Amino acid sequence: MKQSTETSSSDETNLTLDESRFDVSSKVIHTDRFMTWFIKLGGVLVVAAVVAIFVFITSQVLPLFKGASVDLPGATTTENALPPGDYLGIAADEWMEKPFAVRDDGKIIFADLVNGELTESELDYLEGGNLSTVSIESGEGLIVAGTAAGKVHLVEYSYAPTFKDGVRTVNENLEVVFTGEFEGSIRKVSCGQSGNSRLIAVLTETESGPKLFLDLVQRKKSLISAGDWKEVGKLDLSESLRKGIGVQDIMVTNRADSVLVVFDNGEIDYYFRSGSGLDTELRQTFRPFQDQDIQKIARADFLLGDVSLVLSSDAGVNRIFSLYRSESDPIRKFHQTKEFPPLYDSPAYYSPSFRNKSFLTGTSNTATLRYATTQAIRWESELPWEVSHALISKKSDALLFLTKDLRFVRIPVDDPHPEAGMKAFFGKILYEGSPESKYEWQSTGGSDDFESKLSLIPLIFGTLKGTLYAMLFAVPVALFGAIYTAEFLDPKNKAFIKPAMEIMASLPSVVLGFLAALWLAPVIENRVPSVLCAIILVPLGALLFGTIWSRQPKSIKRHIKEGYEFLYFAPVMLLLLFIGWHLGPLVESILFTVKDSETGTRTGDFSRWWPAITGTAYEQRNSLVVGFMMGFAVIPIVFTIAEDSLSNVPDSLRTGSLALGASRWQCAWTIVLPTASAGILSAIMIGLGRAVGETMIVVMATGNTPIMEWNLFSGMRTLSANIAVELPEAPHHSTLYRTLFLGAVVLFLMTFLVNTVAEVLRQHLREKYKTV
């Protein structure tokens, strides 16, 4: 007795027995200790690893919700101030290492931010006179300079990086490509480019008042050379200017398809140029700050893509107007789409991002980085300098300011995911070009100025839609099947039915998806009425058959043993399915007829009837197909768990109720089912969990369009399918990549929640049985 306690509790080391043969060998003790330690550590690690999945995925998502980080203390300032003078505009290279400023005497001064050198361009293009205005089109590398003498010069600039020993040196290149002459002294210029033509808008001041010109220049490009820019047309728009109202600014879009004229009184004229010539029409006149006391527009600038206009009033009110076709008006016009919190004062500068829909603006001593789509302020701060010009770098990784004391300041910016945010993922957003705000998923587009639409709502909706239709189909089959199996089925049959169902649970979903898409969808496509007929006929037939059968005298009933009903009903069901299948076309020709607009005859065609009646699409790979196949994937799981919980109801309850005279159905329905209800609920929940996460069936059997309608005959895009389709193509750590991770987190949480509830219910049920 004593030995046994001692050996069993091997932790005790003070073995004081005389007989050492009872000693546990130290090897055993050490092995035991080691294994205890090893298993504990290993076990904890495995469990921790399992938990770590969630932590890791979440960690990948978190950067999405961070604002821009602008490193003010890490700013690089040029040592030497630029030579004194009036500077009209700034621009920089892709790496923002060698920005330049254009001085009013026409000199272009480059400041090397790496070694602090200042270089003045040799370029001599002004024949006397000073520059009166400069507009720099950074996207095209073009300086448009107007002089008081009435000349407009187009100066192209470019940077050529050379690499030597891994160190980059940037060399600039300047070239005057065109000079035009206009009446009066130039006040404002703007230029846009489409292909090999450029549209220059010029505002001049003459003795007879302001004048507005549109100048079209073109070049003939050959294989050998780029060709020279030549003026091909000039249009005088001066008549459209208002008498007595000054023009504040003019703007040509980068694409050169529209011209905006901003007036002093806060009005904007929107001209549209159609074709490649100079045909322009006034499309719209609007007042962006009509409702404000101060209506004067301080700045009007385009966002990347030229669809949206960022406007600030003299009082600092900051709004975005976008072009869209409204329902009542088929012409694209500007309408207000966004309003940002106001700036502190009239803005001093503006710069759009060249990568996304963010822009930099601010008063002379504040700066704010804002993202248009989500109406989010990414960063806002007071500046330690007085600022006159600002620029976002081409890569959106730095900000450049020209201070009033004529120094360039470059500030590193880290804002990798400006388009992200709670609002982007879950909010309704008024996207560019759309007349109403909506939830939309469209992660990639054809062009660089594409506005990414990252709403997860359509995907969550699609997930729920697919799940709903799958469950609608799966739950009755699985539950009634389970009730029958647990309560009425001959136990001998159960031995093969349950394993059969369990094996079905393991059918790879890729197989089901393939069958859904390539076999079921084409079969069902033209046979929807047949399917509907079968759905109605078979259950009714079962009830009817059961009723008739139960009324038969015992001598007949004796032929079918109780517990074999399902087997005997099979041929009846086949017959009913057959009838339903062939009844379909008949029903279709009576109920689902559409009138042919040409011949006027009515033909039965469900695939045309449905869109005509409901106004929604009818697709071959639709939710009916997905619901059916996904239901098929879910049935075995729900069936198995439900059947288990029904079978586990103690037999005493059953026998008691039967002894009291209940029929077998009454016993099952009123006694067993309520007792096992928690288990059944958990079965449904677990089925739900599987349907929510099902991937391959949805990928294969739907069109994967992220639409938001409950239409049974259209497809959907689920969270899981979305990940499977887009993640392989998403660049590592891009916004899309992280957003897809967010989708995974949502999916994880959804299933984890559902499964936990199911698990708790099941445990609850277990406790309940213990007491019965």
Partner 1 sequence: MNALSSPKVPKTKGRGEPMVWFTGMWLSFGLLMILVLLTIIVKNGLSTFWPSPVLQIELVENSDAKLRGSTTLAGDVKKEQIRTTAGESGEPVPEIQLFTGNREAYNTGFRYVVESDITSREYPKDIIRAERLEYGDMIGYPVRIEFADETRLESTSKEFPEALRRMVKEANERRDKIEHIEKDLIGAINRSMEKIKLNRRGWDKAESIPEKDRLQMDAEQAGLQKEYEKLASEARELRNLQNANRLIYRIPTGDERTVATGSVVDYYYPNRLNIFQRVFRFFARIIHFIFEDPREANTEGGIFPAIFGTFVMTILMSVVVVPFGVLAAIYLREYAKQGPVVRAVRIAVNNLAGVPSIVFGVFGLGFFVYFMGGSIDSLLFSERLPTPTFGTGGVIWASLTLALMTVPVVIVSTEEALVAVPRGVREASLAAGASKWQTIQRIVLPASLPGIITGLILAMARGAGEVAPLMLVGVVKLAPTLPLDTIAPFVHLERKFMHLGFHIYDLGFQSPDSEAAKPMVFATTLLLIGLVIALNAAAIIIRERLRRKYKTGAF
Q: Which of residues 505-544 bind partner 1 (CB under 8 A)?
A: 506-511, 513-515, 517-519, 526, 538-539, 541-544
Stretch that binds partner 1, among 126-134, 345-353, 610-618, 718-726 (CB under 8 A): 718-726
- Written as one string, the DSSP assignment of 323-368 is EE--SS--S-EEEEEEEEPPPSSS--EEEE-SSSSEEEEE-TTEEE
Q: Which is nearer to partner 1, 257 or 565 (by Cβ)?
A: 565
* Closest C-alpha among 691, 712, 696, 697 to residue 624: 712
The dihedral over CA atoms of 678, 683, 688, 693, expressed in degrees to the nearest 10, equals 130
Residue 723 CB, nearest distance to partner 1 (Å)? 5
Q: Which is nearer to partner 1, 359 or 606 (by Cβ)?
A: 606
| In contact, 469 and 623? CB cutoff 8 Å | yes
How many chain residues interact with partner 1 (CB under 8 A)? 121
Residue 421 CB, nearest distance to partner 1 (Å)? 21
Q: Which of residues 546-585 bind partner 1 (CB under 8 A)?
A: 546-547, 549-550, 565-567, 569-570, 573-574, 585
User: Which tokens belong to 169?
Assistant: 């040196």
**Considering Cα of 5, then 10, then 12, then 13, what sign does the dihedral take?**
positive
748 lines the binding site for partner 1 (CB under 8 A): yes
SS (H, E, C) 730-757: CCCCCHHHHHHHHHHHHHHHHHHHHHHH
Answer for which of 635, 649, 671, 707 binds partner 1 (CB under 8 A) is 635
Q: Which is nearer to partner 1, 51 or 612 (by Cβ)?
A: 51
**Buried/exposed code over 50-79 (b: 16+ C-beta within 10 A; e: otherwise):** eeeeeeeeeebbeebeebbebeeeebbebe
Answer for which of 99, 679, 689, 706 binds partner 1 (CB under 8 A) is 689
In the chain, DSSP finds a helix count (H) and a strand count (E) of: 19, 33
What is the phi/psi pair of residue 149, to 5°? -85, 5
Residue 613 CB burial class (10 angstroms; 0-12, 13-18, ≥19)? exposed
Answer for which of 116, 499, 650, 674 binds partner 1 (CB under 8 A) is 499
Dist. CA 96–CA 744, nearest whole Å: 37
Answer for which of 167, 223, 500, 772 binds partner 1 (CB under 8 A) is 500
Q: Which of residues 290-329 bind partner 1 (CB under 8 A)?
A: none
Q: Which is nearer to partner 1, 28 or 613 (by Cβ)?
A: 28
In a 3-state reduction of DSSP, which class is residue 41? Answer: helix
Q: First and final CA of the chain: distance in angstroms?
A: 40
Q: How far is CA 629 from CA 215, 498, 692, 702, 708, in A?
A: 63, 20, 13, 11, 21
Residue 442 CB, nearest distance to partner 1 (Å)? 21
Residue 138 CB, nearest distance to partner 1 (Å)? 30
Q: Which is nearer to partner 1, 290 or 734 (by Cβ)?
A: 734
Q: Which is nearer to partner 1, 311 or 736 (by Cβ)?
A: 736
The residue type found at 321 is F
Helix axes 735-771, 26-61, angle to 10 degrees: 130
Residues in the chain: 772
Answer for which of 15, 31, 160, 591 binds partner 1 (CB under 8 A) is 31
Q: Which of residues 698-717 bind partner 1 (CB under 8 A)?
A: 699-700
Stretch that binds partner 1, among 268-276, 347-355, 378-386, 744-752 (CB under 8 A): 744-752
**x/- binding map, residues 462-491, to partner 1, per CB under 8 A?**
--------------xxxxxx-xxx--xx--
User: Which tokens belong to 629?
Assistant: 């196949």
Answer for which of 40, 168, 561, 595 binds partner 1 (CB under 8 A) is 40
Residue 466 CB, nearest distance to partner 1 (Å)? 12
723 lines the binding site for partner 1 (CB under 8 A): yes
Q: Which residues contact 751 (CB under 8 A, 6 or more apart)?
A: 689, 692, 693
Answer for which of 720, 736, 739, 761 binds partner 1 (CB under 8 A) is 720
Q: Which is nearer to partner 1, 205 or 605 (by Cβ)?
A: 605
Residue 37 CB, nearest distance to partner 1 (Å)? 10
Dist. CA 230–CA 217, nearest whole Å: 5
Residue 356 CB, nearest distance to partner 1 (Å)? 23
Residue 218 CB, nearest distance to partner 1 (Å)? 42
Answer for which of 64, 260, 376, 501 binds partner 1 (CB under 8 A) is 501
Dist. CA 732–CA 181, nearest whole Å: 52
Answer for which of 15, 17, 51, 591 binds partner 1 (CB under 8 A) is 51
User: Which tokens belong to 560?
Assistant: 């079918």
Answer for which of 42, 161, 209, 445 binds partner 1 (CB under 8 A) is 42
Beta pairing, strands 108-111 & 100-103: antiparallel
Q: Which is nearer to partner 1, 266 or 693 (by Cβ)?
A: 693
Q: Which is nearer to partner 1, 289 or 441 (by Cβ)?
A: 441
Q: Which is nearer to partner 1, 7 or 442 (by Cβ)?
A: 7
- Which run of H or E residues covers position 48? helix 26-61
Dist. CA 370–CA 353, nearest whole Å: 10
Q: Which of residues 636-675 bind partner 1 (CB under 8 A)?
A: 639, 644, 648, 661-666, 669
Residue 616 CB, nearest distance to partner 1 (Å)? 21
Q: Which is nearer to partner 1, 47 or 331 (by Cβ)?
A: 47
Cα angle: 509, vertex 514, 518; to 5 degrees: 155
Q: Which residues contact 454 (CB under 8 A, 6 or more apart)?
A: 419, 420, 424, 425, 441, 443, 735, 736, 739
Answer for which of 367, 683, 692, 707 binds partner 1 (CB under 8 A) is 692
Answer for which of 503, 556, 591, 613 binds partner 1 (CB under 8 A) is 503
Q: Which is nearer to partner 1, 217 or 761 (by Cβ)?
A: 761
Answer for which of 3, 80, 119, 444 binds partner 1 (CB under 8 A) is 3
Q: How far is CA 616 from CA 465, 527, 529, 707, 711, in A?
A: 16, 18, 18, 11, 7
Dist. CA 625–CA 517, nearest whole Å: 8
